[in-house]
Amino acid sequence: MNATLNRIVLFGVLVCAWAHADESLRRDFSEPPLEWKPRPLWFWNAPPSQESTRAIMEGSKALGYAGFGILPAQDKEGFMGGAFLDAYAFAAETAGALGMKLCLYDEYWFPSGSAGGQLAKAYPEALSKRLDKVEQEVRGPVRFESAIPEGVFMGAVAMNTATRDRIDISAGVLAQKLTWDAPAGVWRVMLFTCVTDGSDGLVDYLEPRSVTKFATLTYDRYYERLKPYFGKVIDSAFYDEPTLYRTAEARTWTPAFNERFQMKYGCSPVVYYPAMWEDIGEDTAAARNALFGMRAELYAKGFPKVLNE
């Protein structure tokens, strides 16, 4: 009897709890709490006054918005300067008083990665890089010599034009000069270098140290000025449209690529580099998968991982 009574009581408790939860869910769905309401991007098309900031925020809350993601869209020279951060601090203070939240955007405009042009001025070494190729046809047998183009030398490959056989001849480089004894046949000698591209002043997304420098110009400066609001009013952050396609034909690269490829696969990527430009035969798909796959890993560890941490 006691066991049966206990089951009945427990069932009644569960029914009441379910009914309460259902009622709460229905209420929250029809009239969502502020925390679940949308936050629009707030474009600062002009330096905002405190009066306009307060009026816009109060009016937006009355319309049902929970907060904002502020996006500066004018006065690029003033981005992250004292007046800009003062205006942002006032917005954060007002948001806190209204019970609203701010989502921090890390850039002046789209895409993320240039700190509004400040990265190129402060840390030019941290700008995006690309993989370049210089080639020359060689008819063997002959001793071939060539100066290494400017940039970080990434490797040299000789490809037989008839068979597409490829030879890594990087070991023939000494004092910025390549020497190679070409065997019989027609060969294309390709020299690969990694050079600074810096399109749109964007960061080297593949290199954590470069991304950290970008963060010092944005996240760190926000934190220095707005520390009391972090984790409270400023409860999140986002980046937008980081891209690898802006460099020459999407050959975004980084000087450490060979070393990191070697660590992962136990071999050099150099003999695969020609596949970045053309069909190299039956190895083409595998070569591109390996190269682009490695680049994707470097991007994941270089940009989003650094910023998330």
Beta carbons within 8 Å of 18's beta carbon, 6+ residues apart = none
Four-residue CA torsion sign, 105, 108, 112, 115: negative
For 53-67, write each residue's pLDDT tens digit: 999 999 999 999 999
> What does each C-alpha distance from 190 to 178, 225, 238, 277 come to in angstroms?
11, 51, 41, 11
Structural contact between residues 53 and 87, judged by C-beta atoms closer than 8 angstroms: yes
Beta carbons within 8 Å of 64's beta carbon, 6+ residues apart = 37, 38
For 140-193, write each residue's pLDDT tens digit: 999 999 999 999 999 999 999 999 999 999 999 999 999 999 999 999 999 999
The string of DSSP letters for 88-111 reads HHHHHHHHHHHT-EEEEE-SSSSS
Nearest to 288 by CA among 299, 297, 277: 277
DSSP 8-state secondary structure symbol assigned to residue 37: S
Least confident of 36-40, 268-272, 282-286, 295-299: 36-40
For 179-205, write each residue's pLDDT tens digit: 999 999 999 999 999 999 999 999 999
Instruction: Give 30's pLDDT tier (boundaries 50, 70, 90).
Output: confident
Of 3 and 77, the one with more pLDDT = 77
| Average pLDDT value for residue range 229-243 | 95
Least confident of 28-42, 46-60, 69-83: 28-42
Nearest to 95 by CA among 58, 123, 62: 58
